[in-house]
Amino acid sequence: MLPLPPEDLPPDALSDADAVLRRQLELSTSRYFFEACEGSLQSLLMECRWSISLANVPMLVIYCPDALRNWRVLSRLTAIAHFLARFSPQAKIRVYSPSSTGAPLDVRVNEQGVL
């Protein structure tokens, strides 16, 4: 395989404009994901703090404010994964429990069979 010419390689560092564009893309993706969800999932997401980041793969990050909402989010992971998979089959979901102890739960949407 031939190496790419320098003009086809990504830049060494991202500019401020690149960061702004990435943030706008994340916000748009978040909005479209939210609008794609059915009403009860939208309600659940509104009870939590959440965002979508587009680093290596799209990742939905959910911060649960209490144990009840954490349980509700975990019990609806399959449905959440279904809607997120529409955007990318490689997407991930990360759920932070209300206590800051322990590691967050990470699940890939293509692992729906284990949910």
Q: What is the H or E stretch that residue 36 is in?
A: helix 16-36
Q: How many CB atoms lie within 10 A of CB 87?
A: 17
For 44-65, what is each residue's pLDDT tens digit?
999 999 999 988 889 999 999 9
Write down all domains in the chain, each with its CATH number in brackets.
40-115 (3.40.1350)
How far apart are the C-alpha atoms of 76 and 54, rounded to whole Å?
22
Q: Does the pTM of the predicted model rise above 0.95?
A: no
For 67-87, what is each residue's pLDDT tens digit?
899 999 999 999 999 999 998
